[in-house]
Amino acid sequence: MTDSHARPGLAVEVVTLFPELVLGNLRHGVLGRAIERGRLAVGTVDPRAYATDVHRTVDDRPYGGGPGMLLAVEPLATAIDAARARLPAGGPVIYLSAQGRQFGQADAVRLAGSAGYVLLAGRYEGVDERVLETCVDEELSIGDYVLSGGELAACVVIDACARLLPGVLDNERSAVEESFGDGLLDWPHYTRPEEWRGLKVPQVLRGGNHAAIDRWRRMQALGRTAERRPDLMARRTMDESDVRLLAEYRAARAADEATNLGARRRGPKTDAETEDKP
């Protein structure tokens, strides 16, 4: 396949005690294709390979006591330097931890546009703070919960980036149009059959009028974002047409609720109910 995408692929190095946990995740679907097409290259560096004692020790007990172990400054720092040396200069070293700043689509776009970066996947209770002070450029979290290791978080970051790389998604539109593309949640999606358990695909999607379809989808994206993620709406400036669309969505929902047709239906609907709803 001629590589129409001039820009060299994205290179990522993951520092991890479990290389297989990372590489195993990347062999499937979009990620596997991105690697096959040379759009993405993922390497791993195992700190244990840089351990100098006979037991190849990488962890130790925390000063001040407390449960669990920590990844010690060495061989971790040496492993991070080895990973950084494999990449084009200047790529950030990112530590995945629950103490990090929340990872978001903007980070995925930024990292997908970079020449490459190192992901540090912690284990145990975390790593010696001095490694963060000297070898790490930023700390990112994928959510407010504690994982047993940073590997899954590293795969989340790589996955979110890979989909944005040119030539990875068969339809580039997907990456642009999906959730958070413009800070809104996605609109509802339907495919065949046209009717299932009395639930019909909204008429507007079956009518072929693409202006009406685009309008309906934007109304749904605005409405669902306002309902489910007011924090995202708070970050947006709404133009006149969005204000009208959101008002129309809310009016339709209120009418729906009023006729109590909004509640999740158990079992087939009557014909009268199947008439098209917004």
Beta carbon nearer to ligand 4FV, 32 or 92: 92
Residue nearest ligand 4FV, Cβ-based: 122
Beta carbon nearer to ligand 4FV, 21 or 98: 98
By CB under 6 A, is residue 16 in contact with ligand 4FV? Answer: no
- For ligand 4FV, the binding residue among 16, 25, 44, 97 (CB under 6 A) is 97
- For ligand 4FV, the binding residue among 92, 149, 181, 202 (CB under 6 A) is 149
Beta carbon nearer to ligand 4FV, 107 or 177: 107
- For ligand 4FV, the binding residue among 39, 84, 123, 218 (CB under 6 A) is 123
By CB under 6 A, is residue 98 in contact with ligand 4FV? Answer: yes
Q: Minimum distance from CB of 178 to ligand 4FV (Å)?
A: 22
Q: Minimum distance from CB of 158 to ligand 4FV (Å)?
A: 13
Q: Minimum distance from CB of 71 to ligand 4FV (Å)?
A: 8
The interface region with ligand 4FV, picked from 56-64, 142-150, 163-171, 194-202 by CB under 6 A, is 142-150
Q: Looking at the chain, how many residues does it have?
A: 278
Torsion sign across C-alpha atoms 59, 60, 62, 66: positive
By CB under 6 A, is residue 141 in contact with ligand 4FV? Answer: yes
- Whether the CB-CB separation of 142 and 94 falls below 8 Å is answered with no
C-alpha 169, offset from chain centre: 15
By CB under 6 A, is residue 142 in contact with ligand 4FV? Answer: yes
Q: Name the residue among 184, 187, 176 with its Cα closest to residue 234.
A: 184
Spatial CB neighbours of 213, under 8 Å, sequence gap ≥ 6:
204, 205, 207
By CB under 6 A, is residue 153 in contact with ligand 4FV? Answer: yes
By CB under 6 A, is residue 68 in contact with ligand 4FV? Answer: no
The binding site for ligand 4FV (CB under 6 A) comprises 96-98, 122-123, 126, 141-143, 145-147, 149-150, 153
